[in-house]
A and B are shown apart, each in its own frame.
Chain A
Amino acid sequence: MTFHMTKRGLGKLAFGAFVTALLSTSSLAWAQEFKQAPMLDAKVESGGLPPVEERLPANPYVETMVDGIGQYGGTLRTTILANGDHYNLTRTIANELLVRWTPDWTEVVPSLAEEVTASDDATTYTFKLREGLKWSDGAPFTVDDIMFWYEDVFSNPALTPDKNPIFVVGGEPVVVTKIDEQTVEFKFASPYGLFLQQLAYGQGHLPVIYPRHYLSQFHEKYNAEGIPALLEQDATAADWVALFNSKVSVSFQPAYWQNLELPTLNPYVLTVPYADTDRVEAVRNPYYWKVDPEGNQLPYIDNVTWAKLDDPQLMLLRMTAGELDFAFRHINNSTYKSVLFDGQETGNYHFVDVKDLPANDATLLLNLNVEDPIKNEIFNNKDFRIALSHAINRQDIIDLVYVGQGAPSQVAPQPDHELYDEKMSTQYTEYNPELANQMLDKIMPEKDAQGFRLGPDGNRFTINFMVADVFGLSYPDIMQMVQQYAAEVGIDIQIRTTDRARLNTMWYANEQEAYIWNCVGGLSEAYTDVRCYIPFQKADIFFASKWSEWYSDPSTGEEPPQRVKDAYQAYDEVKAAVTDEDRLREMKEFLAISADNLFTIGISRPMPKYMLVNNDIKNVVQGIPITGNLWHPAPTLSQWYFDRAE
């Protein structure tokens, strides 16, 4: 049952080896009789459901067990915040993809696909689906469903005005072709060695969440006559696009979790939607396509329920009172840790390590494309950034604000990762105000009466720092300290408290001078998500948006200096690399160039976080790595089980 052929099994060699491994494991499952959860027995006997052999694919996915074979039954009680927290439904039960990462996040293996072949030039990827896969309503899942996504959703300008970047290379979107009933080909215009990695993350759901048999009724192309009648019944939709988008939703926006009729490939299907009630409930998908090594259809646990709570404090109380079996987000920070620690006995739960390890928990992002010409010049002076970096006493900040949970570091991959580079992580992190002063004396020697340095124009040089209190990472407290340290070397930092929405509008208008944020890229996501290593227009990291515009389209934005262009070119080579070895080498080279630029100033490298799991639950991965688009616990939830006598 081991899939570990080579590390990061992405090259063609690794894939060849993998396919062989998979076929041998599947023959193991073939020889056995499939079993199902007792709750389905009655339904099968009464003829309401076909027998388990017919529901499973011919060659089901055999899950690798963490502890061992489990037992059926039980309800997993967990929780989400009452608003804006549908992401946690997604993270808990929705992560069924063509290919997936192994739970230790080291290699990509086939999942819904039985076999994946990559061409030598990394432009063409062929997926052979498992035969007999079924949607949760029993209808077959075939290449036609993927083609429906490609032809009628992805290529339809009304439904997809902008293509998701993971399916676009060099401005050219992917071309998907049906080879036969079970085989589909994804072809790119230029080499795209990172495609399988990208597809194995959360956003890889796109091709496999559109059941053609159900959704075509809402699509203009298939049901132009019937749609006006459907629109009349629906008060919220004005045209077929709105109607379609209210039935299924890209990126699992709320609409996805509000439609009980939508067939899925997930282990659980909703029975109570994410709407305006106080709970969301889901029950096992009788057509789920994974089994354990003994042929028991997964998932083991019958139901999942989420209590929608308005306040994290209430989550805390419920957890310590034993009313929840699993909790992760919102209460897994240092503030609540001691209460949770004391409540372990009454709540019958324990702590499980979670490697939620970004590259940095608190990063100072100076806007290198700031409009003000004086600030622009100074920010772009690398010595200025080095001096600022030396002026900060990181250990004090970590001890005082993060109660020791962290380590002084720049933005860099984690020490136990293959991409770790000690120089990158530790450069300029030493607290050395004298050195900082010396360096600054060369850049801005003049000071005013209060001891603050004057800019080249003779006015006090002030950095306006936007600070939002987000992620429970205590940014306002950190910035208070940074302000002090900066003042000691004569740099005036003004703190402007704000909220995330305001910052968001400022980023897009390139209005911020500087802000503090956390930085992704601590583990394997560094390959695909480089927004903290080069200016790369994405989501929430903006330190040189004009350069990143130029990078995505040289006719826009602002041409960056050569040292930045070098970094861009180095990353282009990472993307084009075909074998694992090449990719690792190119990536290290790229990171070295990025480190040499010191685009950002990191403060603290995070420590593993934790989640809380009922003592009876088994098959939970210890120290599971997660990140923004590597969801959790969905990839292994189907093997969780309650180890207790019924």
Chain B
Amino acid sequence: MLLFIFKRLLFAIPTMIAVSIVAFIIIQLPPGDYLSTLMADLASSGGSLEEGTIAAMRERFGLDQPIYVQYWKWVSSIVFRGDFGISFELNRPVTDVIWGRLGFSFLLAALTLCFVWALAIPIGIISAVRQYSITDYGVTFLAFFMLAVPDFLLALVSMYILSTYFGQSVGGLFSPEFVNAAWSLPRVWDFLSHVWLPVCVIGIGSLAALVRIMRANLLDEIHRPYVTTARAKGMSELELLLRYPVRMALNPLISTLGWILPAVVSGEIIVSVVMSLPTTGPLLLRALLSQDMYLAGSLILLISVLTIIGTLISDILLAIADPRIRLQ
């Protein structure tokens, strides 16, 4: 097992190098750089910076150098000094900026995952066990409906309804008075009263998908001979269901568990933008739009690292959950 983990980590290194190069090139692909974006912004707001000032800033940021020099400077300071560079726009080290938001991203992803699993698994089971019943049709209809609704639309509509008819403050994870406050019991309560909406909106699409997956997996399993055998031996229906076929049906869910990690950083960008959530998604979008390249590059790098780690975790979890799976 340890050898397996070690080998996987070793293979991750070339992947990371490749990803960092590709990420850096992609960020540089759009015409212009951070300063031309800045100038365009400034021009539309009526100001302007002199050419010489821009040139000096470009030199200062190192944006006038060829792309491979910029790449090497970035990567070497990450590897040798753990320095991810600075965010041009925020004028702060990239690591500070990302860490400030990662907490909420993880929290939101974890809460969403709990919400989705807590609902999807029982609903999927009911829908499979009572196949072609009214419940099954109802659930199926709802699931397809929810899959079809774009989540940003759901976000807008639910915010509109909450704000207009229930007078709740929408957007963000806190009421205005708590945004910059220290953690306290009222702040936790305020957080909880805000967080359920994004959790529901983000979760609802994957909830629907998961219900369908669970149903299909379980339907495959409950007609297997081992189920019949267990039933013949007089096992109670519920115990049988949970002990054997459900456990098998969970495999595909576990294998996608690892995808949660990268989704923490980049997932649900549009919903987060619409709802103004303090997560890393909008940060990535903004960094890409303003060509704040060290911030964008570091986020993309982070996403790829998390993808690699996430896949590894999934594999390990699968091996634990299902002894039939071997690591070779």
Binding site for B on A (CB under 8 A): 77, 82-84, 87, 160-165, 202-203, 235-236, 241-242, 246, 250-251, 253-255, 258, 272, 275-279, 281, 305, 307-311, 313-314, 317-318, 320-321, 323, 346, 470-471, 500-505, 520, 538-540, 627-629
Contacts and interface: CB of A to CB of B under 8 A. Distances in A.
B241 to A, nearest CB: 45
B92 A236 contact: yes
B274 A313 contact: yes
A309 B156 CA distance: 14
B198 interface: no
A411 to B, nearest CB: 17
A254 B90 contact: yes
Contact of B276 (A246, A278, A305, A320): A278
Interface centre among A160, A275, A538 (most CB of B within 10 A): A275
A162 B52 contact: yes
23 contacts: A83-B289, A84-B37, A161-B55, A162-B51, A236-B93, A241-B60, A242-B60, A254-B90, A258-B91, A276-B90, A276-B92, A276-B96, A277-B180, A278-B179, A309-B172, A314-B159, A314-B170, A321-B169, A501-B36, A502-B30, A502-B31, A504-B32, A628-B46
A623 B15 CA distance: 60
A83 B89 contact: yes
B32 A254 contact: no
A202 B46 contact: yes
B274 A164 contact: no
Contacts of B36: 501, 504-505
B43 A321 contact: no
B176 interface: yes
A453 B163 CA distance: 56
Given A314-B170, A540-B44, A83 B290 contact: yes
B160 A281 contact: no
B16 interface: no
A571 to B, nearest CB: 18
Contacts of A277: 100, 179-180, 278
Contact of B53 (A246, A250, A275): A250
Interface in B4-60: 30-32, 36-53, 55-56, 60
B198 to A, nearest CB: 13
B92 A310 contact: no
A233 to B, nearest CB: 13
B90 A258 contact: yes
Contacts, number: 163
B53 A160 contact: yes
Given A311-B276, A313-B156, A87 B41 contact: yes
B195 to A, nearest CB: 14
A596 B186 CA distance: 68
B92 A275 contact: yes
Interface in B121-178: 156, 159-160, 163-164, 167, 169-172, 174, 176
B187 interface: no
Interface string B83-109: 100100111110011001100000000
Interface in B272-290: 272-276, 278, 282-283, 286, 289-290
A281 B176 CA distance: 11
Contacts of A320: 163-164
B46 A276 contact: no
A504 B39 CA distance: 8
A217 B67 CA distance: 36
Closest 10 CB pairs of A and B: A628-B46, A162-B52, A162-B50, A539-B43, A161-B52, A83-B286, A540-B43, A501-B32, A87-B45, A310-B273
A307 B174 CA distance: 11
A272 B46 CA distance: 26
Contacts of B266: none
A87 B160 CA distance: 28
B276 A309 contact: yes
Contact of A82 (B46, B160, B167, B276): B276
A310 B171 CA distance: 9
B171 A276 contact: no
B291 interface: yes
A629 B180 CA distance: 32
Contacts of A250: 49, 53
A272 B181 CA distance: 11
B61 to A, nearest CB: 10
Nearest to B41: A84
Given A236-B91, A236-B93, 11 more contacts: A77-B176, A161-B53, A251-B47, A276-B92, A314-B171, A314-B274, A314-B276, A321-B169, A346-B164, A504-B40, A628-B45
Contacts of B278: 277-278
